[in-house]
């Protein structure tokens, strides 16, 4: 779990994306947002969800840097919000286990 959170902490994105996501993470609802982003009938555990989100977000960031026509800043922020939300859940669970 620490490796996954370490990878997340190492991701560097423009500050405007991060600031927007920080504003939205307080309203993150995993059952609504994660289901929509992953298009999954069943929600994966937080670690698995975070891995999937990080892969999708990396693709989205590649689109951003290539200035691809299909890039959506709104979806990108939604992905970062979900990543932050799932990381919070993982960190809370990790602290509870100590």
Please tell me the predicted confidence (pLDDT) of residue 51. Answer: 93
Q: Number of folded domains in the chain?
A: 1
pTM: 0.87
pLDDT, position 72: 96
Cα atoms in the 13 Å half-sphere on the side-chain side of 61:
14
Position 91 scores a pLDDT of 83
pLDDT in tens, 21-41: 999 999 999 999 999 999 888
Largest CA distance in the chain: 46
- pLDDT mean values, one per 10 residues, the chain (98 residues): 73 93 94 90 90 95 96 96 92 69
> CB of 78 within 8 A of CB of 19?
no
Element (H, E) at 62: helix 46-66
Cα distance between residue 79 and residue 2, in whole Å: 20
| Domain range for 38 | 2-97
């Amino acid at each position: 779990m620490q490796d996954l959170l370490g990878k997340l902490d190492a991701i560097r994105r423009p500050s405007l994306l991060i600031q927007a996501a920080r504003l939205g993470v307080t309203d993150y609802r995993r059952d609504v947002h994660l289901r929509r982003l992953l298009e999954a009938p069943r929600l994966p555990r937080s670690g698995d969800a975070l891995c999937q989100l990080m892969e999708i977000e990396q693709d989205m960031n590649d689109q951003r840097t290539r200035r691809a026509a299909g890039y959506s800043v709104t979806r990108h922020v939604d992905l970062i919000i979900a990543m932050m939300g799932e990381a919070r859940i993982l960190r809370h669970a990790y602290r509870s286990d100590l």
